[in-house]
Amino acid sequence: MRTVLFIALRHLVSRRRQTFVAVAGMAISVVVLVAMTGLMMGFQMKFFGETLKVSPHLTVTDEELEPPEPVAERHLGARSVAALLHQRPAERPQRIKRPNTVVRAALRLPGVVAGAQQLIGQAILAYAERTYPVEIRGIEPELQDRVTPVRGYVTAGRFESLTTQLDGIMLGSGVAQKLGVTVGDRITAAGPRGTRVSLKVAAIFEAGIPPVDKTRAFVQLRTAQSILSRADEVNSIGFRIVDTDEAPELARVIGAVSGYRAESWQEQNANWIGLFAFQQLITRMVIGFLLVVAAFGILNILIMIVLEKKRDIAILRSIGLTRAQILRVFLLQGALMGMAGALLGCLLGAVVVWAVQRIPVKFEGLVKTDHVVMYIEPWFYAAASAFAVGAGLIASILPARRGAATEPVDVLRGQA
């Protein structure tokens, strides 16, 4: 192995410029792999992290799994000459019956740590001459804070005021801005059936997710039931669990127990998860192509070396190197170029990640941030390095086999 390493290293060093170009190509691929993965993961972690802070891990909805048979159909029966072709939807909105029982039953399941009932509906908020439509959420503040800890996102006023004031309302920062209100202002909430309730702005929160901050308002459950004209009704129960990965399975169990459709956070964010998966696929394809291009750089230089070194290969064989050793000389060169590319790429990648994280970019889309969010773990570097060395090795297989197949006599006779 020592002889092989000695020869392989010398081949690479004697072609510094070509070697550097091949190594640089591989290093760029590693940098892109690390940086793109960090960016993608950073954005996803930020999005899902923030989403899970303001959204329950799983939610029991008001959709019954086995809706009752329409009354008309129940009375018509199979032997009737009349048939029910189309039923007009019921005017009465759906609700969850016996919500306390559902919460108690779910809390007995292992891994479920908190549950809170909600009544969610649409309302129009009005302040002075300004009106703004919001999604109003009636909550039990203390219980809700255990499911979605919004208390930490309060930027003005006090979360506790929502607990003590029946007419208190906590607005998303975007809603407050649209209405032009601040803590202490009185606003009016109008429900879909025309109920108007005067409310006092108790707190303003900012979750960092514009779609939430610009549309959501929290009031006490009873207040929401008044605004929405749905006394004693609940149409959503949120749960917090220990392991977020177990949400789909727990949702299935809670759904079966409650008789209502339960959605995991993964199901509720399926569009985003699908989009991120597609984005990852595209990014991986781009990185894959970059690696292939870098590998071609190595392949190119090694083919050149093999062609140029046929005579040297013949000499090495004459002094006792085996075919396997010749093969290893070139495989090692590919692996060494991959390793050098990985090392250089990891160093540059660390610098790029450090620098990019410090770029002050104000972004307000799915999430709100004032800098580029990156999420880096050591295994990104390890994986990128493994890919680089693997690509270098794979690229060297063809030239190495060609070199090993060189017949010394053909070269010495001048026939190769």
Partner 1 sequence: MGDGAAAPPILEARGLGRTLGAGDAATRILDGIDLTVPRGQFVALTGASGSGKSTLLYLLGCLDRPSEGEVIVDGRATSRLDDDARARLRNQKLGFVFQFHFLLPEFTAEENVMIPLLQAGRSTEEARARAHEVLARLGLAEKARRRPSQLSGGEQQRVSIARALSNRPEVVLADEPTGNLDSKNAENVFQVFTEIAASGLTIVMVTHDVGLADRTTRRVEMKDGRIIGDRVH
Which residues form the interface with partner 1 (CB under 8 A)? Answer: 2-3, 6-7, 10-11, 13-14, 311-312, 314-324, 408-409, 412-413
Rounded-to-integer distance, Cα 340 and Cα 19, Å: 10
Tokens 């410029």 correspond to 17
* Orientation angle between helical segments 323-357 and 310-318, nearest 10 degrees: 130
Residue placing its CB nearer to partner 1 in the complex, 298 or 305: 305
Cα gap 138→318, rounded to integer Å: 87
- The CB-of-47 to partner 1 minimum distance in angstroms stands at 54
> CA–CA distance from 124 to each of 131, 220, 290, 302 (Å)?
6, 17, 52, 71
Q: Rounded to the nearest whole angstrom, what is the least distance from the CB of residue 400 to partner 1 in the complex?
A: 16
| CB nearer to partner 1: pick between 170 and 313 | 313
Beta bridge partners of 125: 132, 189
Across 95-184, the runs of DSSP E, i.e. the strands, are 112-127, 130-139, 154-157, 168-172
- Residue closer to partner 1 (CB basis): 294 or 314: 314
CA geometry: angle 150, 153, 158, nearest 5 deg: 85
Dist. CA 294–CA 342, nearest whole Å: 12
Q: Closest distance between partner 1 and the C-beta of residue 323, in Å?
A: 6
For the CA atoms of 312, 314, 317, 319, what is the dihedral angle to 10 degrees? -70
Q: Which amino acid is at 133?
A: P
Copy the structure tokens of residue 248: 């789909």
- Distance of alpha carbon 197 from its chain centroid, rounded? 39
Residue placing its CB nearer to partner 1 in the complex, 73 or 410: 410
Residue 315 CB, nearest distance to partner 1 (Å)? 5
Distance CA 102, CA 62 (A): 12
CB of 416 to partner 1, least distance (A): 13
Residue 22: CB minimum distance to partner 1, A: 17
Q: Which is nearer to partner 1, 211 or 408 (CB)?
A: 408
Smallest separation (angstroms) from partner 1 to the CB of 341 = 22
Residue closer to partner 1 (CB basis): 252 or 413: 413
- The rounded Cα 315 to chain-centroid distance in angstroms is 57
CB of residue 374 to partner 1, shortest distance in Å: 43
| Beta-carbon contacts of residue 352 (< 8 Å; ≥ 6 apart) | 31, 34, 35
DSSP conformational letter for 246: G
Closest CB to partner 1 among 22 and 114? Answer: 22
Nearer to partner 1, 2 or 79 (CB): 2
